[in-house]
Structure 1
Amino acid sequence: MTGPAERSAPRGEATSRRPPRWLPRALLMTVLAVYLAAFGWYALGALRGLAINVLIAFFLALALEPPVLWCVRHGWRRGAAAATALGGSLVAVAVVLALFGNLFVQQLLQLLDVVPEVYTAVQDLAAERFGVALPDSGDLVRDVLTTFGDDVASGALLFGTTVIGALFAMLTVLLVTYYLLAAGPRFRAAVCRWLTPARQQEVLTLWEITQVKVSDFISSRIVLAALSSAFTVVFLLILRTPYALPLALFVGVVSQFVPTIGTYLGGALPVAVALTAQGLPQALAVLAFVIGYQQLENLYFSPKVSARALEMNPAVSFLVVLAFGALFGALGAFLALPVAATIQATANTYLRRHALIESHLLRDPTRWQRVGDDEAAGPGPRP
């Protein structure tokens, strides 16, 4: 005969070995969460390009909102005003490309004609001064085609697909920009209907702040483009380079409104014109001026203008451009200042500021304080 404790022991052991009832459900929920997280990550990566295009369209709509409002105040329908503002900006871009594109192509063709002569001069100089025999231009071209022929072909194919993708992206940006401009208050009302009145006021305030900062950013770009054009036209006139005024306008517009590579694209055309029309010394002088002015603009003009227009510290604006460019590329560098200025203005609006305490570390000493400190220190050596 066995006791009750002995008879219940095997059943308890079997019950302890059986998994708890919640474990299968927890495993299923874990697998589902991992699957949803992986799908979300994939979706974010796949939609990254679309999100960037929508962001560009949003900032374009904010930049074109003032002319649309001007047209609406003068009796235009909002759809017609949006189409006119967007179409006018496209026409302006097309005119700039037509004016300078033809000049750029002509100078590029002349440059291709001049390159063999320049290479021959360099070849003779290297042979006379340094005793170095450079290969002939024909042999050099054949070697390049033999070595990099496949890479050139694949690069041309990649360039073609990139151009097609850029056209689709541009069409997407233009359509979204028009819809945002045409909707205007109706779009903001549709967003605000999902929010409480307090949240609506916050969203509309943030929208207005963003609108102001984007307008300030565009105005700062215009000021920098005017400065660049003025300095460039003076230098080209001193150098007696032909087409000085259109070249200077091209440099100013492209260097400020094309992110990252705009400086190099803008400076390439006057260098090519100087090389084909005047010679190698003048081309090197223009190149040196472009590089020197770029440093002056980065260190002085751009921080000052950006700080005044966007109310940001010059060092902060410079670091913000570097950081956004490293994270998001050319688009990030172009949109860094208005985004950062919007964040700063929002923080100033909603975050509470406190009164400063009295401390000598919070302000520079006056002249009489410095003189008094020197007299109190005595005639001994000063740090």
Structure 2
Amino acid sequence: MAADDEGRPENAVGVAPSGHNRLIGQPHDAAAEGPIAEAEAAAARMLSGEHPLGLPGRPVDRRSPFMVAVVGTVGVVLTYGVLQLIGAAAQVLVLLAFALFLAVGLEPAVSWLVNHRWRRGAAVTAVLLTVFGVVAGFLALAVPPLIAQIGNLVSNIPDLIRRIQDNSDVIGRLSQQVDLQQNVQRLLSEAGPALAGGVLGVGIKILSGIGSLVVVLAFTAYLLSDMPRLRRTFYRMFPAGRRPRAILIGDQIFVKVGAYVLGNLAISAVAGLVTFVWLLIFDVPYPLLLAAFVALTDLIPVVGATLGGIGVALVSLTVSWPVGLATLGFYVVYQSIEGYVLIPPIIGRAVRVPAVLTAAAVLIGGAMLGLFGALVAVPVAAGVVLVVQQVVYPALDRR
């Protein structure tokens, strides 16, 4: 057994009988320390292997005026500090919240693999690789057609300039009537620096978006890997008497979020597939890109499918007016089928949020946090509904 500086044996946690930890405290004269020496001796006596830091003392009287004043002051200071912290780190907190949302949503897939004798690390890797493959596939579909369109535009600029300067051409006559060439030159000369700054700003935003995506994916991987420990830590925050009930309600909320995320991904995949087939039938250009666009916008509740359908219908007008109108009608029918046939069995049974509350939650979430708020609004509303039904209503009924 180790000994302190005065040759006395130390216990298992490195504290001498005097109460001093050998890495922090130094032996002192008991007469000089007075009450502190007595407290250190009492601390050494109360140590044990089961309680290396001693037993908790008598609870503080929370109703005393001093404690009420202290708690009130600390509460005000902490509230102000938290609000300042949220304001300063709002963007980072949104990314972390989005990563947590994705982790909770992907947890059912990871748990399914773990229940089928996969190691958790391998299960998390498989799920994330699948998600990364979907994102990479969308980029692979979107970037080449976009580059091709930009190339076509650049190659057509000389012909467009020639037509603007040709008085016999319809575009040329229209250009002369509105002084298009002079107006464009004046606009470029006046707004050149602003346009250059705008291009630079777009480049910075693209790089920022890539960085944000990397941060979200990295934190999603960390959260998924450590989800069991995070779950235990979260439930440990509840009092022991309320902990079983909190576990049942909390796990049900996690299940709802997971069902919503996976179900929403499945429905978006269906929307992209039917869009791709429809565009192939009518020979609309860039069917893969437009199908990926519809699948992405369909992730947004309530309005996503409508936005995607309108965009595809506008592109379909380049083929012919009948094709454009038929595409618009197709999306009206498809959105009805999605709302009444696909969503109820895939998402509706798990989430069970009234339609009015769903629309209101999406609008409020979008106004507060933009696209992220719109995406998480429905599962958050489902969690609130569950807490109200299981906690608030029974408490009100007992009064």
- CA pair 318-296 structure 1, distance change in 2 beyond 3 A: farther
Q: Is the 8 A contact 2:103 2:220 kept in 1?
A: yes
Q: Deviations over 1:7-53 (max 9, x none)?
A: xxxxxxxxxxxxxxxxxxxxxx9999887665443222012222211
Which is worse superposed, 326-335 or 202-211? Answer: 202-211
Pick one of 378, 383, 386 that aligns with 1:337.
378
Pick one of 305, 317, 324 that aligns with 2:358.
317
Q: Deviations over 1:262-312 (max 9, x none)?
A: 97678767866x6xxxxx742666665666666667777447755635322
Pick one of 390, 393, 396 that aligns with 1:349.
390
Deviation at residue 90 of structure 1 after TM alignment: 0.9
Q: Identify the structure with the greater helix proportion.
A: 1
**Alignment root-mean-square deviation, CA:** 4.1
Q: Deviations over 1:134-176 (max 9, x none)?
A: 445x555433322322222222332333334333332332222
Deviation at residue 181 of structure 1 after TM alignment: 1.0
In structure 1, C-alpha distance between the alignment counterparts of 2:160 and 2:319, rounded to whole Å: 13
Aligned to 2:291: 249
- CA pair 152-202 structure 1, distance change in 2 beyond 3 A: farther
Q: Deviations over 1:68-109 (max 9, x none)?
A: 123322333212321222132112211221133212322343
In structure 1, C-alpha distance between the alignment counterparts of 2:192 and 2:100, rounded to whole Å: 42
Deviation at residue 65 of structure 1 after TM alignment: 1.1
- CA pair 155-79 structure 1, distance change in 2 beyond 3 A: same
Pick one of 151, 155, 177 that aligns with 1:133.
177
- CA pair 176-337 structure 1, distance change in 2 beyond 3 A: same
Tell me which amino acid in the other structure corresponds to 1:133: Q
Tell me which amino acid in the other structure corresponds to 1:84: A
Alignment of 1:89-100 (within 5 A): 89-100=131-142
In structure 1, C-alpha distance between the alignment counterparts of 2:338 and 2:184, rounded to whole Å: 43
Which is worse superposed, 46-55 or 157-166? Answer: 157-166
Tell me which amino acid in the other structure corresponds to 2:95: N
Aligned to 1:151: 194
In structure 1, C-alpha distance between the alignment counterparts of 2:310 and 2:324, rounded to whole Å: 7
Structure 2 unaligned segments of length 5 or more: list them.
Answer: 1-70
**Among the aligned pairs, what percent are the same residue?**
25
In structure 2, C-alpha distance between the alignment counterparts of 1:139 and 1:265, rounded to whole Å: 37
Q: Is the 8 A contact 1:61 1:177 kept in 2?
A: yes
Aligned to 2:240: 197
In structure 1, C-alpha distance between the alignment counterparts of 2:188 and 2:321, rounded to whole Å: 28
Aligned to 2:98: 56
Tell me which amino acid in the other structure corresponds to 1:232: T
Aligned to 1:208: 251
Q: Deviations over 1:191-227 (max 9, x none)?
A: 3334333332233223322222223323542454355
TM-score between both structures, scaled by the size of structure 1? 0.66
Q: Is the 8 A contact 1:271 1:286 kept in 2?
A: no
SS in 1 for 2:298: helix
Structure 1 unaligned segments of length 5 or more: list them.
Answer: 1-28, 275-279, 355-383
Aligned residues: 316
Q: Is the 8 A contact 2:124 2:225 kept in 1?
A: yes
TM-score between both structures, scaled by the size of structure 2? 0.64
Does the alignment pair 1:218 with 2:255?
no
In structure 1, C-alpha distance between the alignment counterparts of 2:200 and 2:376, rounded to whole Å: 30
